[in-house]
Amino acid sequence: MAIKVAINGYGNIGKRVADAVAKQDDMELVGVAKTRPNFEAFVANKKGYPIYASGEDKIAAFDAAGLEVAGTTMDMLGEADVVVDATPEGMGAKNLEGIYKKLGIKAIFEGGEKHDAIGASFNAYCNYQDTIGKDYVRVVSCNTTGLCRSLSAVDSVAGIKKARVVLVRRGGDPVQIKKGPINAIIPNPPTVPSHHGPDVNTVMPKWNVATIAVLVPTTLMHQHNIMIEVENDVSREDVLKEFYSRMRLMLVRAGDGLGSTAEIIELSRDLGRPRYDLWEIAIWEESVNVVDNEVFYMQGVHQEADIILDNIDCIRAITGVEKDAKASIRKTDKAMGVMGSFRPPQCLEDKPEELREIHSKAWGIE
């Protein structure tokens, strides 16, 4: 039986999780709850998603816009096995106490909520097993997800002794026309270390991770600069091989014309990705280096997209329908069209056999 999933909040995250749920053969989208009939509501209507008004008092506005609603959020929750709460920052915690606990419905929250308010945090590569059967779980933010993904790869081959990261964050999402900066670099937070390190620790408590973050005037992606002291002797090739082996990391090369976040997004547009969503973390291959047991690399995080995969896995974990992390990840990646790489396998003739095999698989050639 398909898991019945409700989406509470239909903004940047909610609309993407809705589309992703609709693509899974073991899930059913019960509907989406919205506060107002803006253009996103018209598109939801066009896609055939049942629309629920966020309250009785909101129904009139949808009626006036000519959009039929299936009921209110409470009606929607009554139909669902699990709710993904993609409401604005801080509202999820209120919904947890005020609604979900009373209804006894399992709930997934996003990175805008505080870990302590929810009680558990999630990243599919790191702690899927620990999440099985929990009732309330938070999928960590886009930046934390990006760090968890590539750090877990480095940890698995070399053991993380100490990770230091400088995050260059996008000022706002493309649609956020009133966010900024538009002409400044903002230490944000101005305190050091930033909250991103501790946020990684909500998923992987043992890692020594310290982070510093700034905001810059761009909307496309975050960019991370990563320096990791490792426990074990490891070569650049070992690290690259591990990166290549993970479908949710995509190696890109400046030499292929992908030397910036803008060009990486252009690739994603060309690949025909919905909303140009790059679910994979892009790692610049040229930047990967190992010097005296220190691993260096730079990566790009499409802030709107990466967490969508983990939301889908989290739905399987908390409902317990899939006990094996790798099986869920594989299922999600296949349904979404995660590629791991945009380069055809014949372009890797100078690489070790094993790496080429991994890569061929990622490209869909067994």
- Cβ closest to a second copy, residue 31 vs residue 37: 37
Q: Which residues pair with 82 in a beta bridge?
A: 5, 106
Dihedral, CA atoms, 233, 165, 266, 23, nearest 10 degrees?
80
Q: Looking at 142, 148, 314, 347, which residue is catalytic?
A: 142
The least CB distance from residue 57 to a second copy, in Å, is: 19
126 labelled catalytic: no
For residue 214, the number of C-alpha atoms closer than 13 Å in the C-beta half-sphere is: 11
Tokens of 231: 């426990």
- Cβ closest to a second copy, residue 106 vs residue 170: 170
Distance from the first to the final alpha carbon of the chain:
30
The least CB distance from residue 335 to a second copy, in Å, is: 16
- Cβ closest to a second copy, residue 151 vs residue 307: 307
The least CB distance from residue 43 to a second copy, in Å, is: 4
CA-atom Rg of the chain in angstroms:
20
Which residue type, as a one-letter code, is found at position 28? E
Please report, for residues 295, 310, 360, the alpha-carbon distance to residue 145 in angstroms, rounded to integers and kept in the order given: 19, 8, 25
The least CB distance from residue 256 to a second copy, in Å, is: 5
Q: CB-based contacts of 335: which residues, under 8 Å, 6+ apart?
A: 20, 23, 24, 25, 312
- Cβ closest to a second copy, residue 20 vs residue 140: 20
The least CB distance from residue 322 to a second copy, in Å, is: 28
| CA 47/CA 335 separation, integer angstroms | 18
- Cβ closest to a second copy, residue 17 vs residue 252: 252
- Cβ closest to a second copy, residue 274 vs residue 352: 274
The least CB distance from residue 22 to a second copy, in Å, is: 12
- Cβ closest to a second copy, residue 1 vs residue 182: 182
DSSP state, residue 50: P
CB 211 within 8 A of CB 194: yes
Binding site for a second copy (CB under 8 A): 15, 37-40, 42-43, 45-46, 65-67, 174-175, 177, 183, 219-220, 252, 256-260, 262-263, 265-267, 269-272, 274-276, 342-344, 346-349
Tally the residues of the chain.
366
What would the 3-class secondary structure string for 136-164 be? EEEECCHHHHHHHHHHHHHHHHHCEEEEE
The least CB distance from residue 58 to a second copy, in Å, is: 15
Distance of CA 168 to the CA centre of its chain: 17
CB 168 within 8 A of CB 194: no
Q: Which of 309, 311, 280, 345 is nearest to 110 (CA)?
A: 311
Residues annotated as part of the active site: 142
